[in-house]
């Protein structure tokens, strides 16, 4: 695009900024509650809502309370929710069998949400880290996070979630070949309408710390995830990963983290035109919350500005812990 403008004063670019009605007319991007996916954390028990200390305002909830939260989301126009399980160290093993247990916290939450709110879109997380005593997204053998054996387990996990009623499967593990394997298994089990939102470009980021607290993985993790998550220095590699996952059957793709990787979001959208999402991760959320709690920033304005940045970068939607608060503002 090569815009042509008459020289000043014939062109005064401030003319289209002079009042709110005109700014609305020429606004290039918009944000709605329908653009937001709300991540929630589910744990065992009943009647429980416990705060996550490193994520002010975020709760771990028992299944009954997750259903109540989903109803709150629907009431403000947030139509999609992503379920993450919290598991204590006593629930974790090296075999990770809880990951595909039909009655684990996540699968019970999926069934309960869909029973109460059939039109709510339920997304899941597919990775072994919340069930693994080692805290890794895959099996650990002799210090190595192994790929192919892990993919077999991820397929079982995805099938259990689809059977529970999940609408969107979210493989976040970054193992090679898992999208093709999961898509084939879903087709073979007559879950052809279940979507895959692949965490295609997930970086080995320091912004995930509070999330690991929320799911109980901080104390479990041994080593780091740099052999399977992406190097933050790379961007061309992200395009190769997105291309691979789309070719294997992903319906949508994710860039994670969000704000530090807006350049990746833009490159992905421009290159492929596929539905593109970003995850405004726990560290991003916690920094905004902490600064606002200290009166260093205007929370509402920064929250909304950060979410608009995702839309401006080409994202079709965003996973964000701000989903309900943002939706309420958008509806006001």
8, part of any domain = no
Residue 264 neighbours by CB under 8 Å, 6+ apart: 201, 235, 238, 255
In tens, the pLDDT along 105-116 reads 999 999 999 999
In tens, the pLDDT along 177-222 reads 999 999 999 999 999 999 999 999 999 999 998 887 777 666 667 7
20, part of any domain = no
176, part of any domain = yes
CATH number, residue 301: 3.20.20.70
List Cα–Cα distances, 83 to 4, 165, 201, 247, in angstroms.
49, 12, 20, 26
Calpha distance 50→85 (Å, rounded): 14
pLDDT-above-90 percentage for the chain: 91
CB count within 10 Å of CB 45 equals 14
40, part of any domain = yes
Both tokens of 23, joined, read 């700014």
Mode of pairing for the β-strands spanning 36-43 and 80-85: parallel
- Is the pLDDT at 172 greater than 70? The verdict is yes
Please count the structural domains in the chain.
Answer: 1
String of b and e for 101-129 (b: at least 16 CB within 10 Å)? beebbbbbbbbbbbeebeebbbbbbbbbb
5, part of any domain = no
pLDDT of residue 214: 74
pLDDT of residue 31: 97
Q: What is the rounded average pLDDT for all residues in the chain?
A: 95
In tens, the pLDDT along 297-308 reads 999 999 999 999
In tens, the pLDDT along 223-265 reads 899 999 999 999 999 999 999 999 999 999 999 999 999 999 9
Residue 254 neighbours by CB under 8 Å, 6+ apart: 170, 172, 197, 198, 199, 200, 201, 202, 276, 277, 278, 279, 319
In tens, the pLDDT along 85-97 reads 999 888 899 999 9
Nearest to 218 by CA among 158, 153, 129, 115: 129
181, part of any domain = yes
Catalytic residue numbers, as ranges: 202, 256
251, part of any domain = yes
Range of 163's domain?
31-331
DSSP 8-state class, residue 238: H
Nearest to 215 by CA among 52, 67, 79, 3: 52
Strand partners, 202: 256
Calpha distance 190→261 (Å, rounded): 36
Calpha distance 158→189 (Å, rounded): 11
134, part of any domain = yes
- Is the pLDDT at 1 greater than 80? The verdict is no
Both tokens of 202, joined, read 């997930």
DSSP-assigned letters across all residues of 78-127:
--EEEEEE---GGG-BSS-GGGG-TTSHHHHHHHHHHHH-TTSEEEE-B-
pLDDT of residue 220: 67
Q: Quick one: average pLDDT of 57-69?
A: 97
Calpha distance 274→199 (Å, rounded): 13
Nearest to 310 by CA among 270, 273, 263: 263
Residue 59 confidence class, pLDDT cut points 50, 70, 90: very high
User: Looking at per-residue confidence, does 135 or 323 come out higher?
Assistant: 323
């Amino acid at each position: 695009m090569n815009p042509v403008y008459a020289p000043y004063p014939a062109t005064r670019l401030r003319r289209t900024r002079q009042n709110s009605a005109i700014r609305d007319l020429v606004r290039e991007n918009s944000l709605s509650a329908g653009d937001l996916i709300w991540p929630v954390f589910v744990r065992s028990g009943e009647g429980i809502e416990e705060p996550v200390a490193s994520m002010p305002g975020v709760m771990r909830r028992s299944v009954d309370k997750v259903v109540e939260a989903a109803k709150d989301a629907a009431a403000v126009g947030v139509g999609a929710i992503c379920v993450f399980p919290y598991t204590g160290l006593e629930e974790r093993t090296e075999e990770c069998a809880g990951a595909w247990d039909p009655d684990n916290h996540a699968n019970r939450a999926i069934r309960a949400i869909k029973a109460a709110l059939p039109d709510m879109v339920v997304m899941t997380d597919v990775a072994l880290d919340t069930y693994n005593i080692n805290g890794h997204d895959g099996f650990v053998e002799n210090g190595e996070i192994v790929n192919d054996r892990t993919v077999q387990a991820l397929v079982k996990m995805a099938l259990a979630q689809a059977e529970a009623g999940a609408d969107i499967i979210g493989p976040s593990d970054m193992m090679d070949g898992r999208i093709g394997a999961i898509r084939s298994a879903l087709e073979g089990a007559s879950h052809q309408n279940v979507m895959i939102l692949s965490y295609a470009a997930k970086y080995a980021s320091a912004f995930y710390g509070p999330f690991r607290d929320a799911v109980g993985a901080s104390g479990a993790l041994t080593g780091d995830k740099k052999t399977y998550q992406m190097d933050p220095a790379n961007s061309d590699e992200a395009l190769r990963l997105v291309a691979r996952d789309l070719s294997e059957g992903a319906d949508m793709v994710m860039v994670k983290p969000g704000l530090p990787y807006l350049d990746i979001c833009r490159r992905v959208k421009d290159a492929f035109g596929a539905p593109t999402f970003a995850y405004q991760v726990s560290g991003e959320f916690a920094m905004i919350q902490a600064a606002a709690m200290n009166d260093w920033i205007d929370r509402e304005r920064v929250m909304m500005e950060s979410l608009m940045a995702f839309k401006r970068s080409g994202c079709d939607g965003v996973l964000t812990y701000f989903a309900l608060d943002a939706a309420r503002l958008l509806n006001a």
